[in-house]
């Protein structure tokens, strides 16, 4: 079973993430760029499934040149090959355009299963798996905490706000993983060395057959109107408990009319 796993490079959630004050888009220089944790979990599930059922894992990313670091990380974990969707003409793409480019790349891979994260930590859009499934005419099995595949049948436990469900769908399909699905493996030294010689295919807009007049910020379906930084809260009063810490909070809440 051949699997494509989508991996996105995002600003590290441990650092202070910033928008550029000129155009309110992500300031790529402000924070370290890392593979989104959720996508490393996607890679892990992809590897487990190919270990059990055979086949190869291809990791796919769309992003600027340096996003290839993210592909290397996934290759070091054990993915077999990689696809980098990259073109200057993609700069400023919105979700609709990104889904069109990724869907074109995925179509050319012709895999049985596509795995993504359920929600990227930068945009929190949580829509890409469904958008890809819609473009490719496939089922979307989202936010799963466990998945098994038997022949052409996927069974999974899906967890979202308000409840969970056991669900089933037929391959080929798009599956998105929930962070509670388990921890990803760490690349070992051997994996890191092997990753250096694994194939990374680079696909441009022209390679994917995308119309130039549909690409990039100028043709995006959403546009920033304005932005503003929001002042963060600053520290208020801090007291050390002297035996009346709880009562002190209650008194504070009274002054704030909260109780």
Partner 1 sequence: MAEVLVLVEHADGQVKKVTGELMAAASRLGSPVAVVVGAAGTAAGLAEQLGAAGAAKIYAAESADPLELLLTPQVAALAAAVAVAEPVAVLLAATFDGREIAGRLAVRLDSGLLADVVDVAAEDGVVIATQSVFGGAYSTRYQVTKGVPVISVRHNSIEGAAPAVSSPEIVVLETTVDPATATTVTKWLPEEVGDRPELGGAKVVVSGGRGVGSADNFHVVEELADQLGGAVGASRAAVDSGYYPHQFQVGQTGTTVSPQLYVALGISGAIQHRAGMQTSKTIIAVNKDPDAPIFEIADYGVVGDLFTVAPQLASAVKARKG
Ligand X SMILES: Cc1cc2nc3c(=O)[nH]c(=O)nc-3n(C[C@H](O)[C@H](O)[C@H](O)COP(=O)(O)OP(=O)(O)OC[C@H]3O[C@@H](n4cnc5c(N)ncnc54)[C@H](O)[C@@H]3O)c2cc1C
Ligand Y SMILES: Nc1ncnc2c1ncn2[C@@H]1O[C@H](COP(=O)(O)O)[C@@H](O)[C@H]1O
Footprint (CB under 6 A) of ligand X, residues 94-153: 121
Integer CA distances (angstroms), 19 to 34, 133, 215, 219, 229, in order: 17, 30, 22, 21, 8
52: Cβ–Cβ under 8 A, 6 or more apart, which residues?
none
User: 189 φ, ψ to 5°?
Assistant: -60, -45
**Cα–Cα distance, 169 to 156 (Å, whole number):** 9
> 3-class DSSP state for residue 201?
strand
Q: Which of 193, 230, 244, 219 is nearest to 98 (CA)?
A: 219
> Which residues, 6 or more positions from 135, have their beta carbon under 8 angstroms from its beta carbon?
99, 100, 103
13 contributes a contact to ligand X by CB under 6 A:
yes
Residue 39 contact partner, candidates ligand Y, partner 1, ligand X, none, CB within 5 to 8 A by sort of partner: ligand Y
Distance from C-alpha of 111 to C-alpha of 49, rounded to nearest angstrom: 13
List the one residue from 4, 31, 49, 62 that touches ligand Y (CB under 6 A).
62
- The SS3 call for residue 109 is helix
Judged by CB under 6 A, the chain residues 27 through 56 that form the site for ligand X are 37
For residue 198, count CB atoms less than 10 angstroms from its CB and return exposed for 0-12, middle for 13-18, buried for 19 or more: middle
CA-CA distance, 243 to 247, in Å (whole number)?
9
Nearer to ligand Y by C-beta: 8 or 68?
8
Rule CB under 6 A: choose which of 46, 78, 117, 184 binds ligand Y.
117
Q: Which does 6 bind (CB under 5 to 8 A by kind): ligand X, partner 1, ligand Y, none?
A: ligand Y
Residue number with CB closer to partner 1 (60 or 173): 173
Examine residue 178 and tell whether it contacts ligand X (CB under 6 A).
no
Whichever of 202 and 244 has its CB closer to partner 1, that residue is 244
Among 22, 110, 124, 213, binds partner 1 (CB under 8 A): 124
Of the two residues 145 and 252, which places its CB atom closer to ligand Y in the complex? 145
State the minimum distance, in angstroms, from the CB of residue 130 to ligand Y: 8
Is the four-CA dihedral 150, 7, 129, 135 of positive or negative sign? negative
160 vs 193, beta carbon nearer partner 1: 160
Q: How many residues bind ligand Y (CB under 6 A)?
A: 22
Binding test (CB under 8 A) with partner 1, winner from 14, 29, 54, 213: 14
Minimum distance of partner 1 from residue 175's CB (angstroms): 10
**Residues in contact with ligand X by the rule CB under 6 A:** 13, 37, 121
Interaction site with ligand Y (CB under 6 A): 6-8, 36, 38-39, 42, 61-63, 98, 116-117, 119-120, 123-129
């Amino acid at each position: 079973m051949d699997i494509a796993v989508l991996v996105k490079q995002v600003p590290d959630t441990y650092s202070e993430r910033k928008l550029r004050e000129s155009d309110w888009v992500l300031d790529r220089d402000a924070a370290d760029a890392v593979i989104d944790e959720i996508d490393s979990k996607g890679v892990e599930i992809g590897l487990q499934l190919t270990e059990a059922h055979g086949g190869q894992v291809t990791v796919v990313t769309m992003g600027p040149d340096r996003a290839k670091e993210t592909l290397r990380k996934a290759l070091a974990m054990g993915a077999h090959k990689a696809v980098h969707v990259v073109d200057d003409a993609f700069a400023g793409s919105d979700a609709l355009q990104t889904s069109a480019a990724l869907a074109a790349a995925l179509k050319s891979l012709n895999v049985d299963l596509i795995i993504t994260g359920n929600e990227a930590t930068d945009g929190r859009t949580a829509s890409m798996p469904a958008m890809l499934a819609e473009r490719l005419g496939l089922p979307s099995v989202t936010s799963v905490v466990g998945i098994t595949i038997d022949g052409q049948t996927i069974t999974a436990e899906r967890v979202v706000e308000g409840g969970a469900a056991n669900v089933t769908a037929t391959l080929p399909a798009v599956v998105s993983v929930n962070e509670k699905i388990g921890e990803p493996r760490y690349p070992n030294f051997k994996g890191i060395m092997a990753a250096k010689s694994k194939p990374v295919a680079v696909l441009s807009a022209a390679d994917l057959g995308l119309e130039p007049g549909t690409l990039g910020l100028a043709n995006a379906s959403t546009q920033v109107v304005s932005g503003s930084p929001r002042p963060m809260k600053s520290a208020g009063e801090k007291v050390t408990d002297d035996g009346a810490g709880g009562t002190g909070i209650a008194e504070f809440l009274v002054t704030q009319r909260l109780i």
